[in-house]
Structure 1
Amino acid sequence: MFVDSHCHLNFPELRGQLPAIRQAMAEAGVDRALCICTTMEEFDDVHALATQHDNFWATVGVHPDTENLAEPGVQDLVQRARLPRVVAIGETGLDYYGMEDRKGGRSVADLEWQRERFRTHIRAAREVQRPLVIHTRSASADTLAILREEGEDGAGNRAGGVFHCFTETAEVARAALDLGYYISFSGIVTFKNAQDLRDVAAFVPLDRLLIETDSPYLAPVPYRGKVNSPAYVPHVARQLAQVRQMPVEDIAFATSRNFERLFLQQEQAA
Protein backbone atom coordinates (compact mmCIF):
# COMPACT_ATOMS: atom_id res chain seq x y z
CA MET A 1 0.00 0.00 0.00
CA PHE A 2 2.72 2.51 1.01
CA VAL A 3 6.21 2.89 -0.49
CA ASP A 4 9.21 4.38 1.31
CA SER A 5 11.06 6.07 -1.54
CA HIS A 6 14.22 6.86 0.45
CA CYS A 7 15.80 4.97 3.35
CA HIS A 8 19.24 3.88 4.57
CA LEU A 9 18.77 0.35 5.88
CA ASN A 10 22.51 -0.36 5.76
CA PHE A 11 23.31 2.37 8.30
CA PRO A 12 24.48 1.16 11.74
CA GLU A 13 21.24 2.14 13.49
CA LEU A 14 19.22 -0.24 11.29
CA ARG A 15 21.36 -2.89 9.63
CA GLY A 16 21.24 -5.33 12.52
CA GLN A 17 17.46 -5.15 12.77
CA LEU A 18 16.37 -6.04 9.26
CA PRO A 19 14.00 -8.93 10.13
CA ALA A 20 12.19 -6.77 12.69
CA ILE A 21 12.09 -3.82 10.29
CA ARG A 22 10.60 -5.94 7.53
CA GLN A 23 7.99 -7.33 9.90
CA ALA A 24 7.06 -3.84 11.07
CA MET A 25 6.81 -2.69 7.45
CA ALA A 26 4.42 -5.53 6.63
CA GLU A 27 2.26 -4.75 9.65
CA ALA A 28 2.13 -1.05 8.67
CA GLY A 29 1.22 -1.77 5.05
CA VAL A 30 4.58 -0.58 3.69
CA ASP A 31 5.23 -3.05 0.91
CA ARG A 32 8.29 -1.55 -0.87
CA ALA A 33 11.36 0.58 -0.19
CA LEU A 34 14.23 2.18 -2.08
CA CYS A 35 17.58 1.70 -0.35
CA ILE A 36 19.82 4.71 -0.95
CA CYS A 37 23.58 4.63 -1.50
CA THR A 38 25.71 7.50 -0.12
CA THR A 39 29.29 6.27 -0.80
CA MET A 40 30.89 4.00 -3.34
CA GLU A 41 32.30 1.99 -0.45
CA GLU A 42 28.82 1.05 0.78
CA PHE A 43 27.33 0.25 -2.62
CA ASP A 44 27.78 -3.51 -2.34
CA ASP A 45 25.90 -3.57 0.98
CA VAL A 46 23.07 -1.42 -0.38
CA HIS A 47 22.85 -3.49 -3.55
CA ALA A 48 22.74 -6.70 -1.52
CA LEU A 49 19.61 -5.47 0.26
CA ALA A 50 17.90 -5.13 -3.11
CA THR A 51 19.08 -8.42 -4.56
CA GLN A 52 18.17 -10.39 -1.44
CA HIS A 53 14.65 -8.95 -1.00
CA ASP A 54 12.16 -8.65 -3.84
CA ASN A 55 10.49 -5.54 -2.41
CA PHE A 56 13.70 -3.51 -2.07
CA TRP A 57 15.57 -1.61 -4.79
CA ALA A 58 18.89 0.24 -4.71
CA THR A 59 20.63 3.36 -5.99
CA VAL A 60 24.28 4.21 -6.59
CA GLY A 61 25.84 7.55 -5.73
CA VAL A 62 27.91 9.68 -3.40
CA HIS A 63 26.24 12.10 -0.99
CA PRO A 64 27.33 15.73 -1.48
CA ASP A 65 28.70 15.95 2.07
CA THR A 66 31.01 12.93 1.69
CA GLU A 67 34.72 13.73 1.62
CA ASN A 68 37.97 11.72 1.60
CA LEU A 69 36.38 8.59 0.16
CA ALA A 70 36.24 7.13 -3.35
CA GLU A 71 35.28 9.72 -5.95
CA PRO A 72 33.31 8.15 -8.83
CA GLY A 73 33.66 8.92 -12.48
CA VAL A 74 30.75 8.73 -14.89
CA GLN A 75 31.56 5.15 -15.90
CA ASP A 76 31.88 4.01 -12.27
CA LEU A 77 28.29 5.09 -11.73
CA VAL A 78 27.03 3.82 -15.08
CA GLN A 79 28.54 0.37 -14.55
CA ARG A 80 26.81 -0.08 -11.19
CA ALA A 81 23.56 1.50 -12.35
CA ARG A 82 23.26 -1.22 -14.98
CA LEU A 83 23.26 -3.97 -12.35
CA PRO A 84 19.95 -5.68 -11.53
CA ARG A 85 17.62 -3.77 -9.19
CA VAL A 86 19.62 -0.54 -9.30
CA VAL A 87 17.02 2.00 -10.36
CA ALA A 88 18.50 5.46 -9.74
CA ILE A 89 21.64 7.59 -9.43
CA GLY A 90 22.18 9.25 -6.07
CA GLU A 91 21.78 10.51 -3.63
CA THR A 92 23.60 13.42 -5.14
CA GLY A 93 23.29 17.18 -5.20
CA LEU A 94 24.66 20.08 -3.18
CA ASP A 95 24.87 20.83 0.53
CA TYR A 96 26.05 24.28 1.64
CA TYR A 97 24.50 24.11 5.10
CA GLY A 98 26.67 25.24 8.04
CA MET A 99 29.52 26.77 6.09
CA GLU A 100 31.11 28.15 9.27
CA ASP A 101 30.73 25.13 11.55
CA ARG A 102 30.22 21.98 9.51
CA LYS A 103 32.53 22.98 6.64
CA GLY A 104 35.35 24.60 8.60
CA GLY A 105 34.66 28.15 7.51
CA ARG A 106 35.04 27.39 3.82
CA SER A 107 33.20 29.51 1.28
CA VAL A 108 30.76 28.37 -1.38
CA ALA A 109 33.56 28.90 -3.89
CA ASP A 110 35.60 26.29 -1.99
CA LEU A 111 32.92 23.66 -2.68
CA GLU A 112 33.53 23.40 -6.40
CA TRP A 113 34.26 19.70 -5.84
CA GLN A 114 30.61 19.27 -4.81
CA ARG A 115 29.41 20.93 -7.99
CA GLU A 116 31.71 18.82 -10.16
CA ARG A 117 30.58 15.64 -8.41
CA PHE A 118 26.95 16.63 -8.99
CA ARG A 119 27.65 17.14 -12.70
CA THR A 120 29.27 13.70 -12.84
CA HIS A 121 26.14 12.13 -11.39
CA ILE A 122 23.85 14.01 -13.79
CA ARG A 123 25.92 12.90 -16.78
CA ALA A 124 25.89 9.30 -15.59
CA ALA A 125 22.13 9.40 -15.07
CA ARG A 126 21.57 10.74 -18.56
CA GLU A 127 23.86 8.12 -20.11
CA VAL A 128 22.22 5.19 -18.37
CA GLN A 129 18.71 6.69 -18.39
CA ARG A 130 18.16 6.42 -14.65
CA PRO A 131 16.49 9.12 -12.52
CA LEU A 132 18.44 11.25 -10.06
CA VAL A 133 17.84 11.28 -6.31
CA ILE A 134 18.70 14.87 -5.39
CA HIS A 135 19.74 16.21 -1.99
CA THR A 136 19.83 20.00 -1.80
CA ARG A 137 20.38 21.95 1.40
CA SER A 138 21.00 25.71 1.51
CA ALA A 139 21.99 25.36 -2.15
CA SER A 140 18.80 25.38 -4.20
CA ALA A 141 19.84 28.12 -6.64
CA ASP A 142 23.03 26.31 -7.64
CA THR A 143 21.27 22.93 -7.68
CA LEU A 144 18.67 24.18 -10.14
CA ALA A 145 21.24 26.09 -12.21
CA ILE A 146 23.50 23.06 -12.63
CA LEU A 147 20.57 20.84 -13.61
CA ARG A 148 19.64 23.33 -16.32
CA GLU A 149 23.24 23.71 -17.49
CA GLU A 150 23.52 19.94 -17.81
CA GLY A 151 20.39 19.78 -19.97
CA GLU A 152 17.83 18.85 -17.31
CA ASP A 153 15.35 21.41 -18.56
CA GLY A 154 12.20 19.29 -18.56
CA ALA A 155 12.36 18.54 -22.27
CA GLY A 156 14.09 16.06 -24.52
CA ASN A 157 16.34 13.19 -23.46
CA ARG A 158 16.68 13.92 -19.76
CA ALA A 159 17.26 11.85 -16.65
CA GLY A 160 14.57 13.35 -14.42
CA GLY A 161 14.31 12.36 -10.79
CA VAL A 162 13.20 13.54 -7.38
CA PHE A 163 14.09 16.27 -4.92
CA HIS A 164 14.16 14.10 -1.81
CA CYS A 165 13.37 15.18 1.76
CA PHE A 166 12.07 18.48 0.44
CA THR A 167 12.42 21.44 2.82
CA GLU A 168 12.67 24.34 0.38
CA THR A 169 10.21 27.08 -0.57
CA ALA A 170 7.25 26.92 -2.90
CA GLU A 171 9.31 28.81 -5.48
CA VAL A 172 11.97 26.08 -5.46
CA ALA A 173 9.25 23.44 -5.70
CA ARG A 174 7.76 25.20 -8.74
CA ALA A 175 11.18 25.35 -10.39
CA ALA A 176 11.82 21.65 -9.75
CA LEU A 177 8.38 20.75 -11.09
CA ASP A 178 9.02 22.88 -14.18
CA LEU A 179 12.12 20.77 -14.83
CA GLY A 180 9.94 17.66 -14.68
CA TYR A 181 11.07 16.47 -11.25
CA TYR A 182 9.11 14.86 -8.45
CA ILE A 183 8.99 16.18 -4.87
CA SER A 184 9.33 13.85 -1.88
CA PHE A 185 8.32 14.68 1.69
CA SER A 186 9.72 13.12 4.84
CA GLY A 187 8.74 13.12 8.50
CA ILE A 188 9.72 16.79 8.69
CA VAL A 189 6.31 17.63 7.24
CA THR A 190 4.74 16.37 10.50
CA PHE A 191 6.81 18.65 12.74
CA LYS A 192 4.94 21.36 14.63
CA ASN A 193 7.05 24.19 13.16
CA ALA A 194 6.73 22.99 9.54
CA GLN A 195 3.57 24.81 8.44
CA ASP A 196 5.35 26.45 5.49
CA LEU A 197 6.40 23.00 4.31
CA ARG A 198 2.87 21.69 4.71
CA ASP A 199 1.71 24.55 2.49
CA VAL A 200 4.19 23.42 -0.16
CA ALA A 201 2.93 19.84 0.23
CA ALA A 202 -0.59 21.03 -0.45
CA PHE A 203 0.60 22.74 -3.63
CA VAL A 204 2.60 19.92 -5.29
CA PRO A 205 0.52 18.12 -7.94
CA LEU A 206 -0.61 14.67 -6.84
CA ASP A 207 1.10 13.02 -9.81
CA ARG A 208 4.50 14.42 -8.74
CA LEU A 209 4.33 13.52 -5.06
CA LEU A 210 6.44 10.95 -3.20
CA ILE A 211 6.80 10.00 0.47
CA GLU A 212 9.86 8.80 2.35
CA THR A 213 11.38 8.33 5.77
CA ASP A 214 15.09 9.07 5.15
CA SER A 215 15.46 6.56 7.99
CA PRO A 216 17.21 6.21 10.35
CA TYR A 217 16.81 10.00 10.52
CA LEU A 218 13.87 12.42 10.81
CA ALA A 219 11.28 10.18 12.44
CA PRO A 220 7.80 11.67 12.07
CA VAL A 221 5.54 12.71 14.91
CA PRO A 222 4.77 10.83 17.20
CA TYR A 223 8.23 9.21 16.99
CA ARG A 224 10.25 12.41 16.57
CA GLY A 225 13.68 12.08 18.13
CA LYS A 226 13.73 8.29 17.86
CA VAL A 227 15.35 6.05 15.27
CA ASN A 228 13.25 6.19 12.12
CA SER A 229 12.07 3.18 10.11
CA PRO A 230 10.27 2.58 6.79
CA ALA A 231 7.33 1.36 8.88
CA TYR A 232 6.73 5.01 9.85
CA VAL A 233 6.16 6.31 6.32
CA PRO A 234 2.33 6.05 6.70
CA HIS A 235 2.56 8.93 9.20
CA VAL A 236 3.96 11.10 6.40
CA ALA A 237 1.13 9.97 4.13
CA ARG A 238 -1.48 10.80 6.77
CA GLN A 239 -0.08 14.30 7.21
CA LEU A 240 -0.20 14.86 3.45
CA ALA A 241 -3.75 13.53 3.35
CA GLN A 242 -4.72 15.98 6.07
CA VAL A 243 -3.19 19.05 4.40
CA ARG A 244 -4.62 18.07 1.02
CA GLN A 245 -8.02 17.13 2.48
CA MET A 246 -8.21 13.72 0.89
CA PRO A 247 -8.28 10.10 2.07
CA VAL A 248 -4.92 8.62 3.06
CA GLU A 249 -5.68 5.70 0.76
CA ASP A 250 -5.58 8.11 -2.17
CA ILE A 251 -2.16 9.40 -1.07
CA ALA A 252 -0.92 5.82 -0.75
CA PHE A 253 -2.18 4.92 -4.21
CA ALA A 254 -0.83 8.04 -5.91
CA THR A 255 2.61 7.96 -4.31
CA SER A 256 2.97 4.24 -5.02
CA ARG A 257 2.01 4.80 -8.65
CA ASN A 258 4.46 7.71 -8.88
CA PHE A 259 7.23 5.54 -7.42
CA GLU A 260 6.57 2.91 -10.07
CA ARG A 261 6.52 5.48 -12.86
CA LEU A 262 9.74 7.17 -11.78
CA PHE A 263 11.87 4.26 -10.62
CA LEU A 264 10.48 0.98 -11.96
CA GLN A 265 9.21 1.71 -15.43
CA GLN A 266 12.54 1.04 -17.14
CA GLU A 267 13.22 -2.07 -15.05
CA GLN A 268 9.79 -3.49 -15.90
CA ALA A 269 10.33 -2.77 -19.59
CA ALA A 270 13.71 -4.56 -19.67
Structure 2
Amino acid sequence: MSSFPPVPDLVLPHPVVDNHCHLDIGRDGESLPVEDALARAASVGVTRVVQVGCDLLSARWAVEASARHPEMIAAVALHPNDAPLHDDLDAALDEIERLATAHDRVRAVGETGLDFFRTGAEGIAAQEYSFRRHVDIAKRHDRTLQIHDRDAHDAVLELLDAEGVPDRWVMHCFSGDATFARACLDRGAYLSFAGTVTLKNAGDLRDALAIVPRDRVLVETDAPFLTPAPHRGRLNSPYLIPHTLAVMAQVRGDDLGELCAAVDANTEAAFGGSW
Protein backbone atom coordinates (compact mmCIF):
# COMPACT_ATOMS: atom_id res chain seq x y z
CA MET A 1 0.00 0.00 0.00
CA SER A 2 1.25 3.48 -0.83
CA SER A 3 2.22 5.72 2.07
CA PHE A 4 0.19 8.45 0.36
CA PRO A 5 -3.57 8.44 1.10
CA PRO A 6 -6.15 8.38 -1.70
CA VAL A 7 -7.27 11.60 -3.34
CA PRO A 8 -10.29 12.96 -1.39
CA ASP A 9 -13.76 12.74 -2.88
CA LEU A 10 -14.31 16.39 -1.90
CA VAL A 11 -13.47 18.87 -4.66
CA LEU A 12 -13.22 22.36 -3.20
CA PRO A 13 -15.90 24.75 -4.48
CA HIS A 14 -13.32 27.51 -5.05
CA PRO A 15 -9.60 27.18 -5.83
CA VAL A 16 -7.17 27.61 -2.95
CA VAL A 17 -3.41 27.84 -2.43
CA ASP A 18 -1.25 25.60 -0.26
CA ASN A 19 0.99 28.32 1.14
CA HIS A 20 3.63 26.01 2.61
CA CYS A 21 4.84 22.69 1.24
CA HIS A 22 8.09 20.81 0.64
CA LEU A 23 7.56 18.86 -2.57
CA ASP A 24 11.27 18.02 -2.76
CA ILE A 25 11.22 16.02 0.48
CA GLY A 26 10.44 12.32 0.51
CA ARG A 27 9.76 10.19 3.56
CA ASP A 28 9.94 6.47 4.26
CA GLY A 29 11.70 6.03 0.94
CA GLU A 30 8.70 7.34 -0.97
CA SER A 31 7.88 10.62 -2.72
CA LEU A 32 5.61 11.93 -5.45
CA PRO A 33 7.06 13.42 -8.62
CA VAL A 34 6.38 17.16 -8.55
CA GLU A 35 4.20 17.02 -11.66
CA ASP A 36 2.08 14.25 -10.08
CA ALA A 37 1.73 16.13 -6.78
CA LEU A 38 0.62 19.31 -8.58
CA ALA A 39 -1.83 17.41 -10.81
CA ARG A 40 -3.45 15.60 -7.87
CA ALA A 41 -3.74 18.90 -6.02
CA ALA A 42 -5.34 20.67 -8.99
CA SER A 43 -7.90 17.84 -9.32
CA VAL A 44 -9.40 18.77 -5.93
CA GLY A 45 -9.10 22.56 -6.31
CA VAL A 46 -5.65 23.23 -4.84
CA THR A 47 -4.37 25.02 -7.90
CA ARG A 48 -1.26 26.79 -6.61
CA VAL A 49 1.47 26.16 -4.04
CA VAL A 50 4.28 27.92 -2.22
CA GLN A 51 7.36 25.69 -2.29
CA VAL A 52 9.51 26.30 0.77
CA GLY A 53 13.26 25.78 0.97
CA CYS A 54 14.63 25.50 4.50
CA ASP A 55 18.33 24.85 3.89
CA LEU A 56 20.69 25.86 1.11
CA LEU A 57 20.04 22.77 -1.00
CA SER A 58 16.26 22.94 -0.78
CA ALA A 59 16.26 26.73 -1.21
CA ARG A 60 18.14 26.37 -4.48
CA TRP A 61 15.69 23.66 -5.53
CA ALA A 62 12.69 25.87 -4.68
CA VAL A 63 14.02 28.72 -6.81
CA GLU A 64 14.66 26.44 -9.78
CA ALA A 65 11.31 24.62 -9.47
CA SER A 66 9.30 27.83 -9.23
CA ALA A 67 10.83 28.99 -12.50
CA ARG A 68 9.64 25.76 -14.19
CA HIS A 69 6.13 25.48 -12.76
CA PRO A 70 3.71 28.39 -13.24
CA GLU A 71 1.51 27.20 -10.37
CA MET A 72 4.39 27.51 -7.91
CA ILE A 73 6.23 30.33 -6.17
CA ALA A 74 9.18 29.95 -3.83
CA ALA A 75 10.19 30.81 -0.28
CA VAL A 76 13.82 30.49 0.82
CA ALA A 77 15.51 30.45 4.23
CA LEU A 78 17.61 28.60 6.73
CA HIS A 79 15.29 26.70 9.06
CA PRO A 80 15.90 27.60 12.72
CA ASN A 81 17.25 24.11 13.36
CA ASP A 82 19.60 24.41 10.37
CA ALA A 83 21.14 27.74 11.41
CA PRO A 84 23.32 26.39 14.27
CA LEU A 85 24.81 23.74 11.96
CA HIS A 86 26.71 26.25 9.78
CA ASP A 87 30.36 26.94 10.51
CA ASP A 88 30.03 30.14 8.46
CA LEU A 89 26.47 31.26 9.12
CA ASP A 90 26.98 34.66 7.51
CA ALA A 91 28.05 33.08 4.23
CA ALA A 92 24.98 30.84 4.25
CA LEU A 93 22.72 33.80 4.96
CA ASP A 94 24.36 35.77 2.17
CA GLU A 95 23.39 32.99 -0.22
CA ILE A 96 19.82 33.01 1.09
CA GLU A 97 19.69 36.73 0.34
CA ARG A 98 20.96 36.10 -3.18
CA LEU A 99 18.35 33.39 -3.72
CA ALA A 100 15.60 35.61 -2.28
CA THR A 101 16.27 38.10 -5.05
CA ALA A 102 17.00 35.59 -7.82
CA HIS A 103 13.77 36.31 -9.71
CA ASP A 104 10.25 37.57 -9.13
CA ARG A 105 8.83 34.11 -8.44
CA VAL A 106 10.71 34.06 -5.15
CA ARG A 107 8.14 35.82 -3.02
CA ALA A 108 9.01 34.92 0.56
CA VAL A 109 11.79 34.56 3.11
CA GLY A 110 11.04 31.56 5.27
CA GLU A 111 10.69 29.39 7.03
CA THR A 112 12.76 31.22 9.58
CA GLY A 113 12.08 31.80 13.25
CA LEU A 114 12.80 30.01 16.52
CA ASP A 115 12.51 26.37 17.59
CA PHE A 116 13.18 25.60 21.24
CA PHE A 117 11.94 22.01 20.87
CA ARG A 118 14.69 20.50 18.73
CA THR A 119 17.58 22.92 19.31
CA GLY A 120 19.03 23.22 22.79
CA ALA A 121 20.32 26.26 24.64
CA GLU A 122 23.65 26.08 22.80
CA GLY A 123 21.91 26.83 19.50
CA ILE A 124 19.64 29.70 20.54
CA ALA A 125 22.12 32.49 19.77
CA ALA A 126 22.59 31.22 16.21
CA GLN A 127 18.83 30.88 15.76
CA GLU A 128 18.20 34.41 16.96
CA TYR A 129 20.95 35.88 14.80
CA SER A 130 19.66 34.00 11.75
CA PHE A 131 16.09 35.10 12.45
CA ARG A 132 17.14 38.75 12.65
CA ARG A 133 19.02 38.50 9.38
CA HIS A 134 15.99 36.94 7.67
CA VAL A 135 13.71 39.71 8.97
CA ASP A 136 16.13 42.27 7.57
CA ILE A 137 16.28 40.52 4.18
CA ALA A 138 12.48 40.38 3.97
CA LYS A 139 12.13 44.07 4.82
CA ARG A 140 14.87 45.36 2.50
CA HIS A 141 13.73 43.31 -0.50
CA ASP A 142 9.95 43.49 0.05
CA ARG A 143 9.53 39.76 0.59
CA THR A 144 6.91 38.08 2.75
CA LEU A 145 8.31 36.75 6.02
CA GLN A 146 7.23 33.18 6.82
CA ILE A 147 7.83 32.21 10.44
CA HIS A 148 8.44 28.83 12.07
CA ASP A 149 7.63 28.91 15.79
CA ARG A 150 7.90 25.85 17.99
CA ASP A 151 7.74 26.24 21.76
CA ALA A 152 8.97 29.82 21.32
CA HIS A 153 5.86 32.02 21.17
CA ASP A 154 7.03 34.79 23.49
CA ALA A 155 10.57 34.87 22.12
CA VAL A 156 9.31 35.15 18.53
CA LEU A 157 7.14 38.15 19.39
CA GLU A 158 9.90 39.80 21.40
CA LEU A 159 12.32 39.57 18.49
CA LEU A 160 9.73 40.82 16.00
CA ASP A 161 8.91 43.76 18.26
CA ALA A 162 12.60 44.61 18.50
CA GLU A 163 13.29 44.31 14.75
CA GLY A 164 9.96 45.51 13.37
CA VAL A 165 7.76 43.33 11.18
CA PRO A 166 7.74 43.50 7.36
CA ASP A 167 4.65 44.67 5.53
CA ARG A 168 3.56 41.03 5.03
CA TRP A 169 4.23 38.15 7.41
CA VAL A 170 2.78 34.70 7.94
CA MET A 171 2.81 32.53 11.03
CA HIS A 172 3.41 29.16 9.40
CA CYS A 173 1.61 26.18 10.92
CA PHE A 174 0.09 28.29 13.68
CA SER A 175 0.37 26.33 16.94
CA GLY A 176 -0.80 28.69 19.67
CA ASP A 177 -4.03 29.42 21.49
CA ALA A 178 -6.50 32.27 21.01
CA THR A 179 -4.46 34.66 23.19
CA PHE A 180 -1.34 34.13 21.09
CA ALA A 181 -3.41 34.42 17.91
CA ARG A 182 -4.61 37.86 19.01
CA ALA A 183 -1.04 38.93 19.77
CA CYS A 184 0.06 37.92 16.26
CA LEU A 185 -2.96 39.53 14.62
CA ASP A 186 -2.29 42.76 16.52
CA ARG A 187 1.10 42.82 14.77
CA GLY A 188 -0.43 42.33 11.32
CA ALA A 189 0.09 38.59 10.85
CA TYR A 190 -1.65 36.14 8.58
CA LEU A 191 -2.23 32.88 10.45
CA SER A 192 -1.78 29.64 8.51
CA PHE A 193 -3.41 26.41 9.68
CA ALA A 194 -2.22 22.91 8.81
CA GLY A 195 -3.56 19.39 9.27
CA THR A 196 -2.94 19.62 13.02
CA VAL A 197 -6.20 21.57 13.35
CA THR A 198 -8.12 18.39 12.43
CA LEU A 199 -6.70 16.31 15.28
CA LYS A 200 -8.77 15.42 18.36
CA ASN A 201 -6.36 16.99 20.86
CA ALA A 202 -6.24 20.37 19.06
CA GLY A 203 -8.90 22.19 21.05
CA ASP A 204 -6.77 25.28 21.77
CA LEU A 205 -5.79 25.48 18.11
CA ARG A 206 -9.43 25.34 16.99
CA ASP A 207 -10.27 28.05 19.53
CA ALA A 208 -7.59 30.20 17.91
CA LEU A 209 -8.90 29.48 14.41
CA ALA A 210 -12.38 30.55 15.46
CA ILE A 211 -11.27 34.10 16.34
CA VAL A 212 -9.12 34.82 13.27
CA PRO A 213 -10.76 37.37 10.95
CA ARG A 214 -11.69 35.87 7.61
CA ASP A 215 -9.25 38.15 5.78
CA ARG A 216 -6.29 36.84 7.81
CA VAL A 217 -6.67 33.06 7.60
CA LEU A 218 -4.54 30.80 5.38
CA VAL A 219 -4.22 27.03 4.87
CA GLU A 220 -1.19 24.80 4.28
CA THR A 221 0.00 21.23 4.33
CA ASP A 222 3.67 21.46 5.38
CA ALA A 223 3.82 18.36 3.17
CA PRO A 224 5.03 15.69 3.55
CA PHE A 225 4.44 16.36 7.26
CA LEU A 226 1.37 17.13 9.42
CA THR A 227 -1.10 14.94 7.54
CA PRO A 228 -4.72 15.75 8.45
CA ALA A 229 -7.24 13.32 9.89
CA PRO A 230 -8.37 10.76 8.85
CA HIS A 231 -4.94 9.92 7.43
CA ARG A 232 -2.60 10.82 10.28
CA GLY A 233 0.56 8.72 10.12
CA ARG A 234 0.65 8.62 6.31
CA LEU A 235 2.42 11.07 4.00
CA ASN A 236 0.97 14.47 3.32
CA SER A 237 0.61 16.27 -0.03
CA PRO A 238 -1.24 19.40 -1.21
CA TYR A 239 -4.15 17.31 -2.54
CA LEU A 240 -5.16 16.54 1.07
CA ILE A 241 -6.05 20.15 1.88
CA PRO A 242 -9.80 19.52 1.40
CA HIS A 243 -9.75 17.49 4.65
CA THR A 244 -8.24 20.43 6.52
CA LEU A 245 -10.47 23.09 4.99
CA ALA A 246 -13.65 21.11 5.67
CA VAL A 247 -12.77 21.06 9.38
CA MET A 248 -11.75 24.73 9.34
CA ALA A 249 -15.10 25.75 7.85
CA GLN A 250 -16.97 23.70 10.44
CA VAL A 251 -14.99 25.18 13.35
CA ARG A 252 -15.53 28.72 12.10
CA GLY A 253 -19.15 28.26 11.07
CA ASP A 254 -18.21 29.37 7.55
CA ASP A 255 -19.63 28.28 4.24
CA LEU A 256 -16.88 26.17 2.67
CA GLY A 257 -16.98 27.99 -0.66
CA GLU A 258 -16.78 31.39 0.99
CA LEU A 259 -13.89 30.28 3.19
CA CYS A 260 -12.02 28.89 0.18
CA ALA A 261 -12.49 32.14 -1.73
CA ALA A 262 -11.20 34.10 1.26
CA VAL A 263 -8.16 31.84 1.70
CA ASP A 264 -7.34 32.20 -1.99
CA ALA A 265 -7.53 36.00 -1.88
CA ASN A 266 -5.66 36.16 1.43
CA THR A 267 -2.79 34.10 0.06
CA GLU A 268 -2.37 36.44 -2.87
CA ALA A 269 -2.38 39.41 -0.52
CA ALA A 270 0.05 37.72 1.86
CA PHE A 271 2.51 36.79 -0.90
CA GLY A 272 2.48 39.97 -2.93
CA GLY A 273 -0.11 39.34 -5.62
CA SER A 274 -1.21 36.69 -8.10
CA TRP A 275 0.98 34.26 -9.99
Q: Per the alignment, do residues 127 and 247 of structure 1 end up closer, same or farther by CA in structure 2, a change over 3 Å counting?
A: same
CA distance, structure 1, for counterparts of residue 31 and residue 79 of structure 2 = 19
Match of residue 35 from structure 1: 51
Match of residue 264 from structure 1: 272
Match of residue 231 from structure 1: 239
Match of residue 63 from structure 1: 79
CA distance, structure 2, for counterparts of residue 22 and residue 191 of structure 1 = 25
CA distance, structure 2, for counterparts of residue 261 and residue 64 of structure 1 = 25
Pairs aligned (count): 255
Check whether the contact 1:40–1:61 (CA below 8 A) recurs between aligned residues: yes
Match of residue 128 from structure 1: 141
Q: Per the alignment, do residues 212 and 110 of structure 1 end up closer, same or farther by CA in structure 2, a change over 3 Å counting?
A: closer
Q: How much has 1:110 moved relative to structure 2?
A: 5.0
SS state at 1:12 partner: coil
Q: How much has 1:72 moved relative to structure 2?
A: 4.7
SS state at 1:5 partner: strand
Which of the numbers 158, 167, 189 marks the counterpart of 1:181? 189
What amino acid is the match of 2:161?
Answer: R
What percentage of aligned pairs have identical amino acids? 36
Q: How much has 1:190 moved relative to structure 2?
A: 0.3
Match of residue 128 from structure 2: 115
CA distance, structure 2, for counterparts of residue 68 and residue 135 of structure 1 = 17
1:148 counterpart = 2:188: no
What amino acid is the match of 2:42?
Answer: A
SS state at 2:43 partner: helix
Where structure 1 has 5 or more consecutive residues not aligned to the other structure, the ranges are 153-157
Match of residue 224 from structure 2: 216
1:54 counterpart = 2:70: yes
1:81 counterpart = 2:94: no
TM value normalised by structure 1:
0.89
What amino acid is the match of 1:111?
Answer: I
SS state at 1:36 partner: strand
CA distance, structure 1, for counterparts of residue 18 and residue 229 of structure 2 = 16
Moved more, 243-252 or 78-87: 78-87
Please provide the CA RMSD for this pair.
Answer: 1.8
Which of the numbers 74, 79, 95 marks the counterpart of 2:115? 95
Q: Structure 1 stretches (4+) deviating beyond 6 angstroms?
A: none
CA distance, structure 1, for counterparts of residue 31 and residue 40 of structure 2 = 14
Q: How much has 1:15 moved relative to structure 2?
A: 5.2
Q: How much has 1:71 moved relative to structure 2?
A: 2.8
1:26 counterpart = 2:42: yes
Deviation string 1:63-93 (CA, Å, 9 cap, x unpaired) is 0011424635664333222222100001000
CA distance, structure 2, for counterparts of residue 176 and residue 129 of structure 1 = 20
CA distance, structure 2, for counterparts of residue 207 and residue 72 of structure 1 = 36
What amino acid is the match of 2:151?
Answer: S
CA distance, structure 1, for counterparts of residue 65 and residue 169 of structure 2 = 22
CA distance, structure 2, for counterparts of residue 45 and residue 182 of structure 1 = 26
Deviation string 1:228-255 (CA, Å, 9 cap, x unpaired) is 0000112111111101112111111001
Match of residue 11 from structure 2: none
SS state at 1:42 partner: helix
What amino acid is the match of 1:122?
Answer: V
CA distance, structure 1, for counterparts of residue 242 and residue 64 of structure 2 = 25
CA distance, structure 2, for counterparts of residue 173 and residue 112 of structure 1 = 26
Match of residue 169 from structure 1: 177
Deviation string 1:200-256 (CA, Å, 9 cap, x unpaired) is 101111100000000000110111110000001121111111011121111110011
Q: Per the alignment, do residues 87 and 15 of structure 1 end up closer, same or farther by CA in structure 2, a change over 3 Å counting?
A: farther
CA distance, structure 2, for counterparts of residue 72 and residue 90 of structure 1 = 16
Match of residue 155 from structure 1: none
What amino acid is the match of 1:93?
Answer: G
CA distance, structure 2, for counterparts of residue 240 and residue 190 of structure 1 = 8
Check whether the contact 1:30–1:230 (CA below 8 A) recurs between aligned residues: yes
